[in-house]
């Protein structure tokens, strides 16, 4: 195993991508930023995968971008490999959950914000430090952060570069759930199992619409899928018969 890499484990319908770079608190190297989109392409195409979890090894989510690769990241600005990876994660067709312990800073916060949900352990710390380094945070990243936490909280993080604790992250909406570290894995498992058991047609349509990526034609297509797929008939029948539904629609069927 390399000292710095992304690893993948698929258990049932859940794929877990783990950031591993122990020497730098899981900082993302240029090679890791490049690896992520290709890795996501494969998982998105796998019909067995219904949910993606992004986490970090050894009790740390990600301490940011590896500053040893700073020149490469600076040269491209908003077209950098980090932004490309972030945009691919944000556009992943299936639900994504960031499971966060320890540091979630800079590029790590960038990746967490690109996920659909963020579940954190007590003691996690969050920060966006470009003002400490004389950098301009990428425009897509800045806008995504502001949509999530609101303009004032985004400006506080960006202007001060200070770390905030998990309690404050929960209050401003940067985190969806906060719980003791020994309960994090169990809770992430519960949430991903619930998502995987739901109609993937409903989940995929909701993700597109909430993310404002579905125009009128696409929304009409989703409603035709409800009619043609039999998902709603199965859901209603299962509710009436008091049994778990057997939803069959899969993203690969689009």
Q: What is the CATH number of the domain that holds 223?
A: 1.10.12
Same domain for 181 and 207, yes or no, is: no
Same domain for 169 and 246, yes or no, is: no
Specify the pLDDT at position 195.
98
209/77 Cα distance (integer angstroms)? 29
Specify the pLDDT at position 17.
98
Residue 81 CB-half CA count within 13 A: 19
Same domain for 52 and 155, yes or no, is: yes
Contacts of 3 (CB under 8 A, 6+ apart): 21, 22, 23
Domain end position, chosen among 151, 177, 195 = 195
147/173 Cα distance (integer angstroms)? 10
Tell me if 207 sits within 8 A of 254, measured CB to CB.
Answer: no
Please tell me the total count of domains within the chain: 2
Residue 88 CB-half CA count within 13 A: 19
What pLDDT tens digit does each residue of the chain (254 aa) get?
468 999 999 999 999 999 999 999 999 999 999 999 999 999 999 999 999 999 999 999 999 988 777 766 666 666 689 999 999 999 999 999 999 999 999 999 999 999 999 999 999 999 999 999 898 999 999 999 999 999 999 999 999 999 999 999 999 999 999 999 999 999 999 999 999 999 999 999 999 999 999 999 999 999 999 999 999 999 999 999 999 999 999 865 43
183/225 Cα distance (integer angstroms)? 38
145/225 Cα distance (integer angstroms)? 32
Same domain for 222 and 190, yes or no, is: no
Q: What is the CATH number of the domain that holds 178?
A: 3.90.226.10
Specify the pLDDT at position 66.
85
Same domain for 184 and 231, yes or no, is: no
Specify the pLDDT at position 75.
63
Same domain for 182 and 80, yes or no, is: yes
Same domain for 154 and 221, yes or no, is: no
Same domain for 71 and 101, yes or no, is: yes
Hey, how many other C-beta atoms are within 10 angstroms of the C-beta on 46? Answer: 15
Same domain for 28 and 69, yes or no, is: yes
Q: Which domain holds residue 40?
A: 5-195
Mutual orientation of helices 231-241 and 216-229 as an angle, nearest 10°?
50
3-state secondary structure of 46: coil
Same domain for 190 and 205, yes or no, is: no
Same domain for 175 and 238, yes or no, is: no
Specify the pLDDT at position 212.
95
What are 243's two structure tokens? 């049994």
Domain end position, chosen among 195, 214, 230 = 195
Same domain for 21 and 77, yes or no, is: yes
Specify the pLDDT at position 88.
98
């Amino acid at each position: 195993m390399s000292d710095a890499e992304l690893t993948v484990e698929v258990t049932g319908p859940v794929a877990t991508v783990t950031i591993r770079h122990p020497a730098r608190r899981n900082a993302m190297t240029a090679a890791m930023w490049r690896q992520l989109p290709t890795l996501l392409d494969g998982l998105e195409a796998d019909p067995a995968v219904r949910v993606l979890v992004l986490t970090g090894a050894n009790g740390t989510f990600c301490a940011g971008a590896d500053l040893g690769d700073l020149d490469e990241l600076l040269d491209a600005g908003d077209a950098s490999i980090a932004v490309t990876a972030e945009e691919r994660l944000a556009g992943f067709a299936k639900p994504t959950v960031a499971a966060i312990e320890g540091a979630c800073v800079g590029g790590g916060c960038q990746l967490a914000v690109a996920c659909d949900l963020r579940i954190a352990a007590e003691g996690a710390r969050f920060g966006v430090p470009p003002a400490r380094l004389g950098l301009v945070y990428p425009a897509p990243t800045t806008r995504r952060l502001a949509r999530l936490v609101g303009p004032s909280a985004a400006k506080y993080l960006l202007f001060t570069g200070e770390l905030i604790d998990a309690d404050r992250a929960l209050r401003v909406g940067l985190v969806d759930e906060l719980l003791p570290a020994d309960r994090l894995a169990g809770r992430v498992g519960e949430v991903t199992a619930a998502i995987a058991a739901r109609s993937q047609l409903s989940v995929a349509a909701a993700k597109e619409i909430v993310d404002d990526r579905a125009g009128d034609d696409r929304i009409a297509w989703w409603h035709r899928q409800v009619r043609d797929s039999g998902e709603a008939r199965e859901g209603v029948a299962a509710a009436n018969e008091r049994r778990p539904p057997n939803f069959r629609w899969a993203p690969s069927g689009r």
